[in-house]
Amino acid sequence: MIDFELTSKDQEIIRLAHEQAEIARRYGDYYDKHEDELPPDQFPEAEGRPNPIVLAEETGDGSSGPRILHSLVMHEIYGGGLALHRARWGLGNTVLQTVATPDQFEKWKNHTIAIAITEPGAGSDPADIRTTATFDRETGEWILNGEKIFISQAQSADAAMVFSRFIAPDGSRGMTTFLVEKGTAGFTVGPQLKKLGIRSHDTCNLLFEDCRIPEFNHIKGDFKSTMSVFNDSRPMVGAMALGVARAALDFTRQKLAERGIEIDYRGGMRSRCAIADRFLRLEAAYEAALLTVMRSKWLEQRDVAPKVEASIAKAAGGKAARRITQGCIELLGPEALSEDHRLERCFRDGRIFDIYEGAGEIQRLIIARAILDYTARELR
């Protein structure tokens, strides 16, 4: 039996996350309009406050479990747009933890490591990447050339875990990962990208031009081990998307109440107006999508690799966020399109989350392959 009931300790951590999200909301509004600026490591209000993300990760005795609790905390935080504390862990850290040697892990375990996969022309299909790494026999170094785009934590991270094609000294070819530290010659981080939504997120392009990397920095993550990190992150992004959707629903409920429209959960369809009925349908879509996220994390806690469930959670969360934020705008009318109101930003952020961490269409292909037992080539 799956039980998502929260302990009092879980509820307190989620309450702290919600409280900090309310504080962070005004910073989210600021960085939405000043996306060239990078948020600080910690906002003034975070001084003396516990980091709910760290608390969730360290909690092992709660009834929900740390992975579910972490997702619920991220859900609360992204209702405000950004966290008061900058994350010190990137997806590249997960690759390091999974496949690095003990010496490699010891050297970089305290670094924040972004993951660099997406490329121009390849989009969400890592099989089409063109970044190359060639081994130089004379120096014992790898020479990296290529470009990565839409990289999260690109500017704030200490290093990037770069997924690349390689040509080994023996002539063999394949895909692998390299850890490239900031300051390495030939490694350039571009400016903050102009985006439709999630403008407070650190997102840049990376360029590698004859970038020489020591053999020690060859982490040797293959295609399967590298892509497996998304089993953890995709449901998390679904939770973040639904945090945006929840903020939109709360704002819409408040505005409807100001107009004298109360949401009645007790009466049937015949006893409520069409606006209230439509709001309840949007809220039901939110609840259903959130359950897919929690189930994926529940499986992960039971040491089940939830590849398909992670894609379902990401696809459901992104689609629900897009549908709910648009539906809330339709309920409130032209007023909701004003930049003076929260809903306009929720709509833009929700649209990005449907693409972020693998577009919804890609997730549905992964799901279809699992259900229909098709190969990747058959679904191209």
What residue segments make up the domains of the chain, in order of their start? 8-77, 91-222, 229-379
Read off the pLDDT band of 305 (50, 70, 90): confident
**Report for 21-25, 100-104, 218-222: range of highest mean pLDDT:** 100-104
For 302-368, the DSSP string reads TT---HHHHHHHHHHHHHHHHHHHHHHHHHHGGGGGSTTSHHHHHHHHHHHHTTTTS-HHHHHHHHH
pLDDT digits (tens, 9 = 90+) for 196-225: 999 999 999 999 999 999 999 999 988 888
Read off the pLDDT band of 307 (50, 70, 90): confident
Read off the pLDDT band of 133 (50, 70, 90): very high
CA-based radius of gyration for the chain: 22
Predicted pLDDT of residue 136: 93
Predicted pLDDT of residue 100: 95
CB 315 within 8 Å of CB 348: no
Which residues are catalytically annotated?
Answer: 357
Average pLDDT over residues 6-16: 89
**Residue among 221, 205, 237 nearest 116 (CA):** 205
Please tell me the least confidently modeled range out of 56-70, 313-327, 357-371. Answer: 56-70
Evaluate whether the domain defined by 229-379 bears CATH number 1.20.140.10: yes
CB 63 within 8 Å of CB 7: yes
CB 284 within 8 Å of CB 365: no
Predicted pLDDT of residue 303: 81
pLDDT digits (tens, 9 = 90+) for 256-302: 999 999 888 887 777 788 899 999 999 999 999 999 999 999 888 88
Residue 362 pLDDT more than 60?
Answer: yes
CB 153 within 8 Å of CB 90: yes
Evaluate whether the domain defined by 91-222 bears CATH number 3.10.330.20: no
**Residue among 3, 220, 240, 215 nearest 101 (CA):** 220
What is the chain's mean pLDDT, rounded? 90
Amino acid letter, 190: G
Average pLDDT over residues 78-104: 91
Read off the pLDDT band of 229 (50, 70, 90): confident
Predicted pLDDT of residue 2: 66
Please tell me the least confidently modeled range out of 9-13, 122-126, 161-165. Answer: 122-126
pTM for this predicted structure: 0.90
Strand 113-116 with 187-189, pairing: unpaired
**When comparing pLDDT for 23 and 223, which is higher?**
23
